[in-house]
Structure 1
Amino acid sequence: MGSIGLSAYGMTVSELVELASCADELGFDALWLGEHVFRPTGYGSEHPTTGTVQHHTTIVDTDTELTDPWIAHAAIAAVTSRIKLGTAVYVTALRHPLLTARATISVQEFSGGRVLFGVGSGWLEEEFTALGVPFRSRFSRTEECIDILRKSWSGAEFGHTGKHFTFDPLQVHPRPAPIPVVLGGNTPPALARAARLGDAWFASGTPTPDEAVELVTELRRLRGELGRSGDFPCYVRVATTDPDVLARYRANGIDDLVLWADTLWVGDTPDERRRNLMAAADRLGVGTLDNATAG
């Protein structure tokens, strides 16, 4: 049986905590948080998912609420018990991976192992420039970050000599804290990277059922060529709660669906927002899905 999660972006930490608390009670699978560090004034970069429907027509605008996902998820973990804590996606190339390791391990242990580390290579060149990170190196930096993060999460001592990072032997944590790496992106290089390095995949934008099937089919083909088998969740955002449309995804083996939170978490008061999310959960059979999975 599949899962239904929520994707949130442009909300304050307080709003996210309120949403997560309700979603946790209702049985939604995960809350995925998008992120940018800041809005570069007058930026000219374009999001790479040309042709795919974008829920946010302007991703970083003057009034877009930007939050640190690990601070938000730490607050969410404190008021929830079961909902998974995802990032969709975290631009890990913008930071030193040892700092990211420290944050992710802290949230992973505090939450009881609920982190899903969704990572992308980034597209907003002005963001990289302001932080002093070469934009052209973002793909190789992302791969090197993933390698260092997995070693950091292992609990073992390790040193590293690489293209972008070099340091003497160290230990980030005294015990293993494994975290699934969910690679994002729809372009051919992104799909190849996800098939080769990921524990799961998260679609960019909101692909139609036909687009999603094409992307997931290609991922499965690539994984087969690499000799990779086993569980590989493919998280896909959908634009509707229509059961017939959702059934089209599931008929093609796309079982892990994600809805935009701001289409369900609507209303002028907390009670109204909760009622609307409860109604959506009932339409979607979210509690039933959760119980079936638990059984």
Structure 2
Amino acid sequence: MGSIGLSAYGMTVTELVELAVCADELGFDALWLGEHVLRPAGYGSEHPTTGTVQHHATIVDTDTELIDPWVAHAAIAAVTSRIKLGTAVYVTALRHPLHTARTTISVQELSGGRVLFGVGSGWLEEEFAALGVPFRTRFSRTEECLDILRKSWSGTDFDHSGKHFTFDRIQVHPRPAPIPVVLGGNTAPALARAARLGDAWFASGTPTPDEAVALVTELRRLRRESGNTEQFPCYVRVSTTDPEVLADYRDSGVEDLVLWADTLWTGDTPDERRRNLTAAADRLGLQPSPRSVLSAAGQRN
């Protein structure tokens, strides 16, 4: 049996926390947060999924709410107990990996081990320019960041001498804090990178059912070719809560599904949004937490 999570982007931190509390009680598997640091004015970069179905007509617009996913997830970790805390995706090449290590370890321990570190190489060239990071190095920089992050999470001493980062022997944390790396991207190089370096994969955009099956099939082929037989979740956004359609995905081998939160978390008031998300969870057959069941029973009595 696969999982059903939520993907959120363009919401305020306050609303994300409200959403997470409700989703946690209702039994959604994970809340995946998208991110950008800033909106470059008049940017010309195109998202790599241009030409396929896009949930957001413009990904970074003048009124798009941009948040720090780790600040949001730290707040969410403090008020939830089950839901996993994912990024879809975090552009790790924009930051020094030791700083990212410090942040991710803190959220991982605060949440009791619920972080899913979704990583992308980035596509918004003007964002890289504003932060002083060479856009052309984003792929090699991402791979080097992942190497440093995994060493940082190990709890051991290490040094590093690479193309982008060099430092003497250090320790980031006094004990291991392993975090699954979920690599994103639908292009052939991105799939190869995910199969080689990732613990899981997250699809860009909202691929059609046929596209999703083709992408997951290719990833599994690449994993088999490399001799890797470990479990490898493939998270794919879908555009429906129809149980029959979702069953078709799973029958085709696409088991870990993610719904756009803003299609379910709808309404003018918190109570209305909660009712709509609860109705969706019921349609999906999710198992609410015991606390949620008791709360619902109390409201009926």
What is the TM-score with the length of structure 2 in the denominator? 0.95
CA–CA distance in structure 1, aligned partners of residues 166 and 52 of structure 2 = 38
Q: Which residue of 1 aligns with 2:30?
A: 30
Verify: 1:249 aligned to 2:243, yes or no.
no
Verify: 1:151 aligned to 2:160, yes or no.
no
Q: Which residue of 2 aligns with 1:205?
A: 205
CA–CA distance in structure 1, aligned partners of residues 272 and 168 of structure 2 = 54
Give the total of aligned pairs: 290
* Partner SS state of residue 11, structure 1: coil
Residue 12 of structure 2 aligns with an amino acid whose one-letter code is: T
Residue 109 of structure 1 aligns with an amino acid whose one-letter code is: E
CA–CA distance in structure 2, aligned partners of residues 267 and 117 of structure 1 = 30
CA–CA distance in structure 1, aligned partners of residues 206 and 285 of structure 2 = 21
State how 1:49-68 maps to structure 2 within 5 Å: 49-68=49-68
Verify: 1:266 aligned to 2:266, yes or no.
yes
Where structure 1 has 5 or more consecutive residues not aligned to the other structure, the ranges are none
* Partner SS state of residue 271, structure 2: helix
Identity of aligned pairs, percent?
86
Verify: 1:85 aligned to 2:74, yes or no.
no
State how 1:1-295 maps to structure 2 within 5 Å: 1-287=1-287
Residue 164 of structure 1 aligns with an amino acid whose one-letter code is: H
Runs of 4+ in 1 over 6 A off after TM superposition: none
Residue 184 of structure 2 aligns with an amino acid whose one-letter code is: G
Q: How much does 1:52 deviate?
A: 2.3
Q: Which moved more, 1:188-197 or 1:238-247?
A: 238-247
* Partner SS state of residue 32, structure 1: strand
CA–CA distance in structure 1, aligned partners of residues 235 and 221 of structure 2 = 17
* Partner SS state of residue 160, structure 1: strand
Q: How much does 1:50 deviate?
A: 2.9
CA–CA distance in structure 1, aligned partners of residues 4 and 170 of structure 2 = 39
Q: Which moved more, 1:48-57 or 1:73-82?
A: 48-57
CA–CA distance in structure 2, aligned partners of residues 90 and 286 of structure 1 = 28
CA–CA distance in structure 2, aligned partners of residues 27 and 243 of structure 1 = 16
CA–CA distance in structure 2, aligned partners of residues 224 and 63 of structure 1 = 44
Q: How much does 1:49 deviate?
A: 1.1
CA deviation map 1:41-100 (0-9, x unaligned): 000000011332110010000000000000000000010001000000000000000000
* Partner SS state of residue 169, structure 1: strand
CA–CA distance in structure 2, aligned partners of residues 259 and 29 of structure 1 = 11
CA–CA distance in structure 2, aligned partners of residues 173 and 58 of structure 1 = 39
CA deviation map 1:151-179 (0-9, x unaligned): 00000000000000000000000000000
* Partner SS state of residue 182, structure 1: strand
CA deviation map 1:190-249 (0-9, x unaligned): 000000000000000001110000000000111111111121000000001111211111
Residue 80 of structure 1 aligns with an amino acid whose one-letter code is: T
* Partner SS state of residue 86, structure 1: strand
Residue 62 of structure 2 aligns with an amino acid whose one-letter code is: T
* Partner SS state of residue 287, structure 1: coil
CA–CA distance in structure 1, aligned partners of residues 230 and 163 of structure 2 = 31
CA–CA distance in structure 1, aligned partners of residues 143 and 247 of structure 2 = 35
Residue 93 of structure 2 aligns with an amino acid whose one-letter code is: A
